[in-house]
Amino acid sequence: MPYLDMPRVSLFHVDGIEAFTGLNAEAGEEDKKTALSAEYVSVSRLVVAADKRAGFERTWAEVGRIRQEYVSPFVHRGGWRIEKQDGSEDKDEFVLIGGWDSLAKHAEFAESEGDAEYDKTIKAAVLECNTTFYRRVV
């Protein structure tokens, strides 16, 4: 059984982030862990109307810290997908990648007070959201 189902894999570039590389001491990440050191990695793809991108960035700057505080010690990083999908020229996609100790930890975040504020604010700016979890195999 292969580890990757290649027909289902989609490759694309995300601008401005190195999701799986070292930590940034200047950004206060010296005591954090990268996504690849986690048992689970989440990849969230948030679709935003292209004309609402700047508003989403302001919103993310305000509430992104809520998620980062909750997921500590793992660093979650996000950036904009570079390549547009066919038929989505009027949409932009924000990709958020990060580590989790367990799927239960993610479920706890979804039930937390912090997530209520995060969700209310983010969902107002997002057309659709899809999160996929990957379990580390090595």
Q: Is the peptide bond before 73 cis (omega within 30 degrees of 0)?
A: yes
DSSP state at residue 87: T
For the chain, which residues score pLDDT lower than 50?
Answer: 1
Task: Describe the crossing of helices 113-123 and 103-111 by its angle, rounded to 10 degrees.
Answer: 80
Q: For the chain, what are the domain ranges?
A: 30-135
User: What pLDDT score was predicted for residue 4?
Assistant: 64
User: What pLDDT score was predicted for residue 45?
Assistant: 92
Tell me the Cα Rg of the chain.
Answer: 15
User: What pLDDT score was predicted for residue 23?
Assistant: 60
Q: How many CB atoms lie within 10 A of CB 48?
A: 24
User: What pLDDT score was predicted for residue 87?
Assistant: 78
User: What pLDDT score was predicted for residue 25?
Assistant: 54
User: What pLDDT score was predicted for residue 93?
Assistant: 94
pTM: 0.81
Assigned CATH for 30-135: 3.30.70.100
